[in-house]
Amino acid sequence: MTAPDTASGTKLRAMNIDFFYGRNQALQDINLDFPENMVTALIGPSGCGKSTFLRCLNRMNDLIPGALAKGDIILDGQNINTPQTDVVSLRRKVGMVFQKPNPFPKTVFENVAYGLRVNGETKASVIGDKVEASLRRAAIFDEIKDRLHTSALGLSGGQQQRLCIARALAVEPEVLLMDEPASALDPIATQKIEESVRELKSQLTIIIVTHNMQQAARISDRTAFFYMGRLIEEGVTDIMFTRPSLRQTEEYITGRFG
Amino acid sequence: MQEKETQLQQMLTQLRTRVLMMGAAVGIALDEAFAALEENNAIRAAEVVDGDAAINALENEIDELALSLLVRNQPVARDLRFVVGALRMVFDLERIGDEAASIAELTVTLETPLPGEVMEAVGLLMRSAASLYKESMETFRTADHSAALRLCRDDDEITRQEMAALRRVMEFFCGNRDGQSKHFGYEGMNGILICRALNRICRRCANIAEHAYFVEEGIDIKHKPPEG
Ligand SMILES: Nc1ncnc2c1ncn2[C@@H]1O[C@H](COP(=O)(O)OP(=O)(O)O)[C@@H](O)[C@H]1O
Ligand SMILES: [Mg+2]
């Protein structure tokens, strides 16, 4: 099997997470560790709580009225699920890429530079270098280097999504959350995203929601299977996809329900 | 659970049916080869030799079906193990078919039947091979992993029976060490070749049990010492 169980340390740990939308409980007692420099895939049928859980990890759910998250989320040994946590700096450390590419209606360059400016960077040379470096890490620089000062909205869907990855990378996050980042893309664009995930994991810890089993099998080191708000089974991806321990996991990944 | 069978489920069922069919064809070839040898019936033996082509064709067909299933459905978990196991199975089944054909060829070339004492010892090994074959195919058919494990661990008896049969062949055709050496002709050589073919059939039956175990448990027990 390719992935060691937990060779590296735990970057992020979710402990006893319960989540409520008003009175509806969307997550029940989730406990899950994310080892550093590994890709963890979250899988499960629609509505099982994958996105909700992902958003807990950088407190994105705080923005939803009536939502309540219980439990601890430990990032580098510190609980970030407390009122004292500075969520702005948390979201800089724990970046996010969404299902639909959502570039700002600005130039390619400004899309990536935005986060740097928000974080107080003013030196043009530093910004220029970081924008280029981020676009390279997202494996899109060469393709669009002549269009840096044209509107981001003129890019193809796949390019827009990689631009959004570059934007997330610009502020140098340590964890990257990706919610079905390739679900709206064609196979070639999907492959490019998957390639950059593979390259990025040497520098970051990546957590990716996907409804595509083959994609989870291709790109993740570990896989966690959610069902009806609970974590059913998690483990090394190769084992999860060759001999999962639980019947529910087996039935879901072989397409027999869900 | 879905009401309708998916393409994957249909293809898996088809694959399973074809493997079982090939298993039955190989089983018949073995039974016929053994009966022909016991009766020294060259016509019956020749039919086994002719029938081998049909077994080879089934192997090709199953290979193609398995590849197409992998390409179209990218199966995982038990489904994936089943396809990998089926591919391994047909490889061993085809070889068992070849052994049946080679025993039948040797039977055709025998000028006189094997002498009674030799046939008795060979017959013992032959019946072991026949029942091992049936049991190993049964572990695959019924997904009985504990029976599979027992079968692939259990080969001392086969070695013993083969040695006994070879000794009979040597004694009969070569005489005792101090006595006059008898004429060691094709009969003696065929006797040895038949014993070897039967031994190889038994080994391949153990392989089949290993494949059945792999499909069920996801663990390769090949080349692994038994756990103590
Ligand atoms: N903003 C929201 N307000 C209320 N309920 C929500 C909201 N977002 C998601 N839910 C509910 O929470 C459950 C989990 O949804 P979600 O996390 O989006 O699942 P997934 O990403 O696995 O498809 C669903 O029942 C969904 O209807
Ligand atoms: Mg979702």
Q: Which ligand is nearest to the CA of A55?
A: 1
Out of A121-125, A194-198, B180-184, which region has the weakest mean confidence (pLDDT)?
Answer: B180-184
Contact A241 B81 (CB under 8 A): no
Between helices B156-174 and B186-217, what is the axis angle to 10°?
170
Determine the residue of chain B that is closest to A250 in CA distance.
B77
Ramachandran region of residue A73, left (φ > 0), alpha (ψ -120 to 50) or beta? beta
Q: What pLDDT sits at residue A3?
A: 43
Contact criterion met (CB below 8 Å) for A189 and A157: yes
* ipTM for the assembly: 0.74
- Between B90 and A5, the more confident residue is B90
Q: Where are the domains of chain A?
A: 10-104+174-253
CA angle, residues A184, A189, A194, in degrees to nearest 5: 95
For domain A10-104+174-253, give the fold. Answer: Rossmann fold (3.40.50)
Structure tokens belonging to residue A48:
């099982």
Quote the minimal CA–CA distance from A47 to chain B in Å.
18
DSSP class of residue A256? S
How far is the centre of ligand 1, averaged over its atoms, from the C-alpha of A11 (Å)?
Answer: 26
Residues, beta carbon < 5 Å, ion ligand 2: A 51
Strand residues in A109-229 grouped as ranges (E): 175-179, 205-209, 222-227
User: What is the residue-averaged pLDDT of chain A?
Assistant: 93
CA angle, residues B53, B214, B130, in degrees to nearest 5: 45
DSSP class of residue A107? B
Q: Which helix (H) or strand (E) is A236 found in, with range?
A: strand A230-236
Q: Which helix (H) or strand (E) is A128 found in, with range?
A: helix A124-137
Q: What pLDDT sits at residue B33?
A: 97
A133 Cβ contact partners less than 8 Å away, ≥ 6 residues apart: none
A148 Cβ contact partners less than 8 Å away, ≥ 6 residues apart: A107, A108, A109, A131
Contact B78 A254 (CB under 8 A): yes
Structure tokens belonging to residue B98:
């070849």
**Which residues of B lie closer than 8 Å to A, measured between beta carbons?**
1-2, 6, 8, 74-81, 217-219
* Rounded Cα distance, A60 and B212, in Å: 49
Which chain B positions have a beta carbon within 8 Å of A256's beta carbon? Answer: 1-2
From the candidates A1, A233, A239, A242, which should be mutated to test the interface with B, based on the most B CB atoms within 10 A? A242
Contact criterion met (CB below 8 Å) for A226 and A17: no
Domains: count for chain B: 1
Is B182 a residue whose pLDDT tops 60?
A: no
Structure tokens belonging to residue B158:
């086969």
Q: What is the mean pLDDT of residues B182-208?
A: 87
Structure tokens belonging to residue A7:
């060779």
How far does CA B112 lie from the centroid of its chain? 27
Q: What is the domain extent for residue B38?
A: 7-217
Q: Which chain A residues in 197-226 lie under 8 Å from chain B, judged by CB atoms? A: 213-214, 217
Residue B223 lies in a domain: no
User: What is the residue-averaged pLDDT of chain B?
Assistant: 89
pLDDT tens digit sequence for B130-170: 999 999 999 999 999 899 888 887 778 888 889 988 988 88
The CATH number covering residue B133 comes to 1.20.58.220
How far is the centre of ligand 2, averaged over its atoms, from the C-alpha of A43 (Å)?
Answer: 10
A118 Cβ contact partners less than 8 Å away, ≥ 6 residues apart: none
Q: Which of A72, A30, A74 has the alpha carbon at shortest distance from A50?
A: A30
